[in-house]
Chain A
Amino acid sequence: MSNVTATGIYHRTYASELRLRSTRAEYVRLGLMVVLLLVLPFVLDNYWLSIVNTILIAVIGAVGLNILVGYTGQISLGQGGFMAVGAYSSAILAERMGMPVPVAIVLAVLLTAAIGTFFGLPGLRLKGLYLAIATLASQQIIEFVIRRWGWLTEDRGYITLDRLSIFGWTLPRESFEQSWYWILMLLALLAVLAARNLFRTGLGRSFMAVRDQDIAAEAIGVNLTTAKLTAFAVSSGFVGLAGALTAHYTETVTWEAFTLNVSITYLAMIIVGGLGSIAGAVYGAIFMSLLPVLIRTVADVVGPAAPWLSNQLPAIQNAVFGLVIILFLIIEPRGLNRLWERMKEYVRYWPFRY
């Protein structure tokens, strides 16, 4: 785990052992990251900043899904549905019932956690593929509800939201993306920190015990029911937050943004990033969100030379998408996070192999 550090690092106090970072290089990287994140909104134009913003939302969603799939071992195809619960409930509470947006978002998170727990109930009896089908059912049920229950959208099929306003302060139009960047960055940071620290607590460890061997976990005193349902609740809470933020950020809620495709994209994010690693969820969210954008950019550059390329773009995007997942499963099943760790190790041990 993270406590495997370089030789020459000795912990003399418990506090030092508990730190998330213990080498100078780690602090330097942290510093660089902070500088990068602070500079980003000032150097990127609105288009690229909007992509960064969608990535930040995806980070929250992917971290949430990784808690359930990567850490607790409960596969879920219901991501899109749970995001929809967060988006619709937050939109309805804020827009129609006139609640302040932060309150609406908090309630939406709690509601998604509750609904996630409910759909997690089959997880008590089902494992693996069977659970995948059960969560697929939850996706279909939620999708059915948001499409067919007319009162949700007052029979219009979609909900529009006003521009975000927090206790009287409305986001200025000129700096829409910049303002959202700070809000989303703050929330994504909190989400990552919360998840990172969750797995240093007894609760988080019980999730991992359930993943590694549920019978053994039960034998050492982990309450399977509590652990599994809490995992569903915590994970759905994060996902609900991502959904609610999608709603307020895009200012429209339609069922078409929360289909099974979304669930699969998120699964791909955590597989490519690295199952069972918070940093992996972040890398995966960045990678899978940038992939289609970069493919389009490439297609635009070579477009004039190969018009068939831009004609077939969505098909190519799907193909590359599939290819990436297969390649990762074969070459590095533990994802981008493991690749990054291997790079660091290589540098650290050089010129020795290990």
Chain B
Amino acid sequence: MNARRGALIASLAALALGLSACGGGDGGDNGSAGSGDGGEPIKVGIIADLTGATGDVGKPYNEGMLAYIDYRNANGGVDGRQIQATSNDYAYEVPKAEQLYKQYVNDGVVAVQGWGTGDTEALHTKVAQDELPFMSGSFAESLTDPAEAPYNFVSAPTYSDQMRIALNWINEDSGGDAEVAVFHHDSPFGLAPVADGEAWVSEKGYGLGYQAYAMPAGQQNYVGLLSQAQSQGAKYIVIQNVASPAAQVAKDIKAQGLDMKIVCLNWCANELFITTAGADVAEGHMGVQPFAPIAAEKPGHEEMVSYLEDKGQDPATKGTSWVQGWMVMHVMAEGMAKAAEDGEVDGPSIKEALETMGGIDTGGVIGDGTVEFSAESHRGSTSAGVYTMEGGKMVEVEAGATP
């Protein structure tokens, strides 16, 4: 027995443990690293779903966001300062999002761009305590109330508003007496508009039947769910889920020869739904989409198109999710620019800028074109477009529809 040698080994092990724990590192810098003229870069943290359950739309959303930052930095940044974004994948797992968030706070970001409803809700008290403005791909109603979530900003109409718009359209289309089945993702995201939709039907006195069904994850097909909807007598299926499972429902409807019309909300009302299902299968289904697709050629799309053409990419390949990412980042950057104009760019000043700056012009891309927050409401917009899938394209039926 050699006690001294044991002690030596132990101290080496302790040292190694200490060293490995100290070797911290930064996240992958996906934004522009170049420094602008106007001083320090503005740091933003992005929590993205690239490979998780909602990765099919999460990845283009993230790409749109990074593209906007690239575009903005190349055009002078925010008040001469570059936006430095750190983007990491959290695979739609709440604990991973919490870990990333802590990393970003430690890196000294001034704002965070999140993604899912579950993680946004999980983080909303923390962002309030850390005073970091937080936008996300989640448009849940609970995030629009500053008393509840003071640092969360929802830049598009909420899922509940989209559901109301969908129900208004169904009421009109059906003549007021149809059965509606709501297929939703089995998560806080999916459940977000379900109860509000039911309340809307009774509030408006619509003669619509309303029944919600959770879409089980990892399903090969949704024939079972459709037969439940069929016994309900459903003619309309509102889907609150991402594009891939919604496209599967469309395929199953076609294969079973059912007479049902899908009304997709937000995350499945996009080109991915059409391409995954196939243009002939998607034909005639509907979508409520607050963000106008590039094909709609609104004024706000011009800078996207010119950016993409400069980069040698085809704008036609970029779906609505990409536009959403670009636009949400645009709204955040406008808030930063306003804060920079007034002085310091930090969490509280961006929040104040967003609340007091009035309408942010999105060139007709989000809802009726303007996103406006106030100290009483963080609901940026209440209007969305209604689209029909026609010949493999999203064709506008109604622009700027409100509940």
Point out residues on A near B: beta carbons under 8 Å: 6-9, 23-26, 28-29, 32-33, 35-36, 40, 43-48, 50-52, 54, 155-158, 160-161, 163, 173, 250-252, 254, 256-257, 261, 290, 292-294, 296-297, 299-301, 303-304, 310-315, 343-344, 347-348
Contact = CB atoms under 8 A, between A and B. Distances in A.
Interface stretch (B23-31, B155-163, B279-287): B23-31
A32 B10 contact: yes
A133 B278 CA distance: 41
B21 A301 contact: no
Given A8-B1, A45-B106, A25 B25 contact: no
B76 to A, nearest CB: 25
B215 interface: no
B126 A157 contact: no
B313 interface: no
Given A252-B121, A257-B95, A45 B25 contact: no
Given A25-B10, A33-B14, A348-B6, 5 more contacts: A25-B1, A32-B7, A45-B24, A157-B121, A304-B28
21 contacts: A8-B1, A9-B1, A23-B1, A23-B3, A25-B10, A28-B6, A29-B10, A32-B7, A36-B14, A46-B102, A47-B102, A47-B106, A50-B99, A250-B98, A254-B118, A256-B93, A257-B95, A290-B20, A296-B88, A314-B90, A343-B9
Given A48-B21, A314-B52, A347 B6 contact: yes
Contact of A32 (B14, B22, B99, B195): B14
A310 B14 contact: no
A163 B24 contact: no
Contacts of B168: none
Contact of B129 (A44, A163, A250): A163
B7 A48 contact: no
A50 B102 contact: yes
Interface of B is mostly: helix
Interface of chain A, main secondary structure: helix
B1 A300 contact: no
B103 interface: yes
Given A157-B188, A343-B9, A347-B2, A36 B18 contact: yes
Nearest to A6: B1
A28 B25 contact: no
A29 B122 contact: no
A175 B297 CA distance: 51
A187 to B, nearest CB: 20
Interface string B99-130: 10011011100000000001001111110010
B26 A300 contact: yes
A314 B25 CA distance: 18
A163 B125 CA distance: 10
A173 B129 contact: yes
Given A296-B88, A301-B25, A47 B103 contact: yes
Nearest to A349: B1
Nearest to A43: B22
B275 interface: no
Contacts of A313: 51, 88-89
A310 B26 CA distance: 13
Contacts of A252: 121-123, 125-126
Interface residues of B, number: 53
Given A251-B126, A254-B118, A347 B9 contact: yes
B52 A297 contact: no
Nearest to A50: B102
A304 to B, nearest CB: 8
B142 interface: yes
B17 interface: yes
Rank and list the top 4 A-B pairs by shortest CB-CB distance, nearest first.
A25-B6, A6-B1, A47-B106, A314-B91
Nearest to B6: A25
A300 B27 contact: yes
B95 A297 contact: no
B191 interface: yes
A301 B2 CA distance: 40
A126 to B, nearest CB: 27
Given A251-B125, A254-B188, A257-B95, A44 B89 contact: no
B120 to A, nearest CB: 10
Contacts of A48: 21-22, 24
A150 to B, nearest CB: 10
Contacts of B17: 36
B11 interface: yes
A173 B130 CA distance: 9
Interface string B132-169: 00000000001000000000000000000000000000
A304 B27 CA distance: 11
B94 A256 contact: yes
B5 interface: yes
A183 B44 CA distance: 32
A320 to B, nearest CB: 14
B174 interface: no
A54 B95 CA distance: 10
Given A6-B1, A313-B89, A256 B118 contact: yes
Contacts of B11: 28, 32
Given A28-B7, A36-B17, A156 B142 contact: yes
A41 B40 CA distance: 29
A26 B3 CA distance: 8
A311 B50 contact: yes
B187 interface: yes
Given A28-B7, A251-B126, A252-B123, A158 B188 contact: yes
Given A296-B88, A314-B52, A303 B14 contact: no
B3 A297 contact: no
A43 to B, nearest CB: 7
A177 B126 CA distance: 13
A214 B107 CA distance: 54
Nearest to B49: A314
A40 B195 CA distance: 48
Interface in B38-59: 50-52
Nearest to B97: A256
Contacts of B122: 158, 250, 252, 254, 256-257
Given A251-B125, A300-B26, A24 B9 contact: no
Contacts of A46: 102, 105-106
A252 B128 CA distance: 13
Nearest to A176: B129
Given A29-B7, A254-B188, A315-B51, A158 B121 contact: yes
Contacts of B9: 343-344, 347
Contact of B1 (A7, A299, A343): A7
Contacts of A300: 25-28
Nearest to A312: B51
Contacts of B93: 256, 261, 314
